[in-house]
Amino acid sequence: MKIAKPEIFNDLEIVNIIISLHSDHNVFIQSWGEFIFGKELNLPPELKNRIFCIWFSGLIDLIVDKEDQYQVLLDECEKRNLNNCKILLDELTVLIDAISKSMDKISHEEQILLNHHRNGLVHARVYSIHNPKIGFLKYLDKNEKIVKKYKGTKDEFWALHRQIIIGTMDSFISPLREKFFETNSDYYRILVNMSNTPFFTNLINLAYKDIKK
Distance CA(149)–CA(177), nearest Å, equals: 23
Looking at residue 38, what is its pLDDT?
85
Taking the C-alpha atoms of residue 85 and residue 92, their distance in angstroms, rounded to an integer, is: 10
- Note the pLDDT of residue 143: 80
pLDDT in the model for residue 134: 77
pLDDT at 213: 67
Specify the pLDDT at position 99.
96
| pTM for the model | 0.91
130 touches 51 (CB < 8 A): no
φ, ψ of residue 26 to 5 degrees: the values are -65, -40
Using 50 as the pLDDT threshold, list the residues of the chain that sit under it: none
Residue 61 has a pLDDT of 92
pLDDT given at position 53: 95
Burial class (CB in 10 A: 0-12, 13-18, 19+), 2: exposed
Question: Tell me, what's the pLDDT at 145?
Answer: 87
d(CA 139, CA 16): 28
